[in-house]
Amino acid sequence: MSDRLYIFDTTLRDGEQVPGCQLNTVEKIEVAKALQELGVDVIEAGFPISSPGDFESVVEISKAVTWPTICALTRAVQKDIDVAAESLKYAKKGRIHTGIGTSYYHIHHKLNSNQDEIIERAIAAVKYAKKYVEDVEFYAEDAGRTENEYLARVVEAVIKAGATVVNIPDTTGYCLPTEFGEKIKFLVDNVKGIEKATISTHCHNDLGMATANTIAGVMNGARQAEVTLNGIGERAGNTSLEEVVMTLKSRYKMLGVDTNINTKKIYGTSRLVSTLMNMPVQPNKAIVGRNAFAHSSGIHQDGVLKNRENCEIMDPTDVGINESSILLTARSGRAALNHRLELLGFKLDKEKLDKVYDEFVKLADKKKDIRDDDIALLVGDATRQERRIKLSYLQVVTGKSMMPMATVRLDIAGEKFDATSSGNGPVDAAIKAVKQIIHREVIIEEFLVQAITRGSDDVGKVHMQVEYDDTIFHGFGANTDIITAAVEAFLDAINKLPVAQ
Ligand code: KIV
Ligand code: ZN
């Protein structure tokens, strides 16, 4: 069996399904190009039948990317497959990923069908997809909860129909590592023709076992792993690319399986995805979290200083975390900023670099310790599309034993509007003033404030979820002034509302 694991990245499909993480086509192309540089083998670019935006993204990513395979998701439905094939017409290497639920729950309570009929539908979908492309991947949705004997029948049938890859998703994140590993082994041992296809894992993290299950799958014969950067994905997310890749690299002697990933690009790509998707990486996240290599206890610091290997199983530079010797301050020039941006995985044209540089200088005047996360935020701001409603002025008067008051001025499509309001706190006052201007019945459902690093001069980040007309909209804002960040987050969400007639 080959000792190479193919990395199938689904950040742009399963990862992008997270509410509030949606990217536009330009941003998706940027991520796809970064994934190509990272060295992933397959990019799942979208679910083309689901929306015109997804269709367009698959088309544009197919044009923009040169060597990885571009994959489009479908249900086991002819119309889905027709649309997916159309979206892949510019792909140098295209793959259709079709499939159907195989667990008792899916067959009886979702598809209202029976086991034999599901096998017929699976075979028909694979044969239909084969008319368009040679490379067809089949997924047995909820394979994690499908009994192994039936799963083996399904897998054997789709390989016979021409599937080149068979995907075994633990859709609900239910399996234990030993159980998942045994499932893959059962297929290896019992499916006639299994050597003609690659077995793929696709594990969700509902019980925190996605990476363990994926590695168990690899140890038992899977040679493709479906993953996302930073482990993003619906609910508790998908298996994280960086964890699987670095487990294989760090434990190569034990596992004997390798990938094509340029691990030095992991950190930069992780930051790019986090920034564009407005999805913070938890500080203790393995490999890419802010604290992943930060030793704080005295015993550990002593150990690391004597010899790094005393306490570290990986070298941070292997994943692209470089302590830059160039400190960025208000006096740093464009070249120094650009150098740091490149280390972080951002390649900006002159116009964007100028924009980021202007904001960088303003921030560096307010905050002396400019960190990588701050820079990533500035890039996010500069590349975000021009908003219709902008905050042009905000003044807040607040303090102990007084009624907070806020005055805001909004620029709406070039016209200026002012309002003043009181509130039970400065954020409440400012949001009420904004609401006086926009006249929309918007309810704030979630309001999350975070500081990025340390220190009272830090940049505050605000994520907001608002409800309007039974629909949820997400907004994000960042500023050293957290009231401004909150208003910016609110306006970011408001800008996504349908324009009033
Ligand atoms: O989790 C899952 O089962 C999926 C399939 C559509 C591959 O994402
Ligand atoms: Zn999934």
CATH number of the domain where residue 401 is located:
3.30.160.270
Q: What is the DSSP string of 5-74?
A: PEEEE-TTTTGGGSTT----HHHHHHHHHHHHHHT-SEEEEE-GGG-HHHHHHHHHHHHH-SSSEEEEE-
Determine the pLDDT at residue 340. Answer: 82
Pairing status of strand 389-397 against strand 224-227 = unpaired
Q: Containing domain of residue 450, as a range?
A: 389-494
Structural domain contains residue 499: no
Is residue 500 included in any domain, yes or no? no
What is the pLDDT, as a whole number, of residue 43? 98
Q: What is the mean pLDDT of residues 9-13?
A: 98
Query: 20 lies in a domain?
Result: yes
pLDDT in tens, 327-385: 677 888 888 888 888 877 778 889 889 999 998 988 888 877 777 778 877 887 766 66
Quick check: CB of 145 below 6 Å from ligand 1? no
Which of 342, 367, 384 is where one domain is finished? 384
Whether residue 393 sits in one domain with residue 371: no
Find the 10 Cα to ligand 1 centroid distance in Å: 10
CA angle 279, 280, 284 (to 5 degrees): 140
Average pLDDT over residues 240-252: 98
Type of residue at 12:
L
Ligand 1 atom closest to the CA of 143, numbered from 1: 3
In a domain, 258, yes or no: yes
Could you tell me the two tokens for 291? 């604290």
> Same domain, yes or no, for 191 and 145?
yes
| In a domain? residue 406 | yes
User: Which of 106, 111, 139 to mutate for ligand 1's pocket (most ligand atoms within 8 Å of CB)?
Assistant: 139
Stretch 37-52: mean pLDDT = 97
Ligand 1 pocket test, candidate residues 14, 80, 201, most atoms within 8 A of CB: 14
Q: Is residue 286 part of a domain?
A: no
Ligand nearest to the CA of 167: 1
Which residues crowd ion ligand 2, with CB under 5 Å? 14
Residue nearest to atom 8 of ligand 1 (CA): 14
Residue 288 lies in a domain: no
pLDDT for residue 6 is more than 50? yes
Location of structure tokens 């015109």: 52
Let me know whether 352 and 450 are in one domain: no
Looking at the fold, whether 55 and 144 belong to one and the same domain comes out as yes
Do 443 and 456 have their domain in common? yes
**CB 169 near ligand 1, within 6 Å:** yes
Q: How confident is the model at residue 3 (pLDDT cuts 50, 70, 90)?
A: very high
Residue 141 Cα: closest atom of ligand 1: 3
Domain end marker among 384, 402, 420: 384
154 CA to centre of ligand 1 in angstroms: 16
User: Residue 393 belongs to what H/E stretch?
Assistant: strand 389-397
Domain endpoint, select from 242, 276, 310: 276
- Looking at the structure of the chain, the number of domains it has is 3
Looking at the structure, do residues 349 and 467 belong to the same domain, yes or no? no
Q: Give the phi and the psi of residue 278 in degrees, each rounded to 5.
A: 55, 40
Angle at Cα 40 formed by Cα 77 and Cα 45, nearest 5°? 35
Identify whether residues 193 and 155 lie together within a single domain: yes
Most informative mutation of 80, 137, 141, 201 for ligand 1 (most atoms within 8 A of CB): 141
Q: Copy the structure tokens of residue 419.
A: 């309002």
- Which pLDDT tens digit goes with each residue over 66-118? 999 999 999 999 999 999 999 999 999 999 999 999 999 999 999 999 999 99
- Pairing between strand 135-141 and 94-101? parallel
Domain assignment present for 356: yes
Cα 41 to middle of ligand 1, angstroms: 18
More confident residue, 453 or 65: 65
The domain that contains 39 carries what CATH number? 3.20.20.70
Q: Looking at the structure, tell me whether residues 319 and 418 fall in a common domain.
A: no
Adjacent-strand bridge partners of 166: 138, 199
Could you tell me if 227 and 188 lie in one domain?
A: yes
Does residue 418 share a domain with residue 344? Answer: no
* 206 and 345 both lie in a single domain: no
Closest by CA position to 85, among listed 151, 31, 136: 136
The answer to whether residues 62 and 162 belong to one domain is: yes
169 Cα to the center of ligand 1, angstroms: 6
Q: What is the pTM of this model?
A: 0.80
